[in-house]
């Protein structure tokens, strides 16, 4: 299976007039989104808003009922989906690993886009070197040989980011990466994401959350979803306002931003 090549210099993601209907229920309605290289998007909304459904499409994990989705220039339905997924870094904090691999081994599975190590396959020297670099970038060098079942949730999150970066993707998708993290682990994760964005200026990211406090300072754009519809999308300063967030979550809140971080409190 040869992965398709990313095409052109246009958007890394494009969703046009997208609907997703399941059992007669609209999970997404009339969604439009463009993500360009170097942009860092946040998808926010209450539970059931459609965030994970949209991320599922953007990660080439499924097809829309209506409309079109293009990932790295390839339209879903006209490309080998499995091959396309190998070009997208997708970080799921509920990584379904069943064997106690070390951090280094988990990172190396990113080279083969598998959850477990491929039997009888030896990593190349370049893969070994890249894994070491990424483990260092994510601040995990001292834990490189620690087993998965001994890691904290925060350490697992950083290991999964390193794993997702192994194939040098142009796009990184993060599905509630701060789930289950305590305060210190969350801050370590956000610091790692900022270091990543500084070191990889062309990388585009899409991060799903329903907590503004979990957004990295480098977030550039945001989309607010409610009941499967987009309430607002665009530059982060124009979208993450008190009025927009209050409408999105159906609760009056006041939004502030300090040193690049967002905070919400009830009005």
Looking at the fold, whether 75 and 183 belong to one and the same domain comes out as yes
Question: Are 50 and 182 part of one and the same domain?
Answer: yes
State the Cα angle at 201 between 199 and 203, rounded to 5°. 105
Judged by DSSP in three states, 196 sits in: helix
Q: Count of CB atoms within 10 A of residue 79's CB?
A: 17
Name the residue range of residue 75's domain.
1-87+172-267
Residues 82 and 202 in one domain: yes
pLDDT tens-place values along the chain, 267 residues long: 445 555 556 899 999 999 999 998 999 999 999 999 999 999 999 999 999 999 999 999 899 999 999 999 999 988 888 888 888 888 877 788 888 999 999 999 998 888 888 898 999 999 999 999 999 988 899 999 999 999 988 898 889 989 988 988 889 999 988 877 888 888 888 888 888 888 888 999 999 998 899 999 999 999 999 999 999 999 999 999 999 999 999 999 999 999 889 999 987
Q: What is the CATH number of the domain that holds 20?
A: 3.40.50.300
Q: What per-residue confidence (pLDDT) applies to 1?
A: 46
Examine the fold and report which residue of 114, 139, 168 is the final residue of a domain before the chain moves on.
168
Contact criterion met (CB below 8 Å) for 228 and 64: no
CA angle at residue 47 from 240 to 94, to 5 degrees?
A: 105
Residues 69 and 148 in one domain: no
Domain total in the chain: 2
């Amino acid at each position: 299976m040869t992965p398709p090549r990313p095409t052109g210099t246009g958007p890394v993601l494009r969703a046009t007039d997208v609907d997703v209907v399941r059992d007669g229920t609209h999970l997404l309605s009339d969604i439009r989104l463009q993500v360009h290289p170097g942009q860092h998007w946040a998808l926010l909304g209450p539970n059931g808003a459609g965030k994970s459904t949209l991320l599922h499409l953007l990660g080439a994990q499924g097809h829309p009922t209506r409309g079109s989705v293009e990932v790295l220039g390839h339209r879903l339905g006209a490309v080998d989906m499995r091959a396309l997924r190998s070009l997208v870094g997708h970080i799921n904090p509920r990584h379904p690993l069943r064997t106690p691999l070390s951090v280094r081994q988990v990172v190396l599975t990113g080279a083969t886009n598998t959850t477990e190590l491929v039997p009888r396959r030896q990593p190349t020297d370049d893969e070994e070197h890249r894994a070491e670099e990424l483990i260092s970038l994510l601040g995990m060098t001292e834990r490189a040989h620690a087993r998965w079942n001994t890691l904290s949730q925060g350490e697992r999150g950083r290991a999964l980011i390193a794993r997702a970066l192994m194939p040098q993707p142009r796009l990184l998708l993060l599905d509630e990466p701060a789930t289950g993290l305590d305060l210190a682990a969350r801050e370590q994760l956000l610091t790692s994401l900022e270091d990543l964005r500084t070191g990889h200026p062309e990388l585009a990211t899409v991060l799903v959350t329903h907590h503004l406090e979990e957004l990295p300072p480098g977030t550039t754009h945001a989309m607010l979803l409610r009941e499967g519809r987009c309430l607002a999308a665009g530059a982060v300063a124009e979208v993450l306002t008190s009025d927009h967030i209050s409408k999105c979550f159906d609760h009056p809140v006041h939004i502030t931003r300090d040193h690049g971080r967002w905070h919400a409190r009830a009005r």
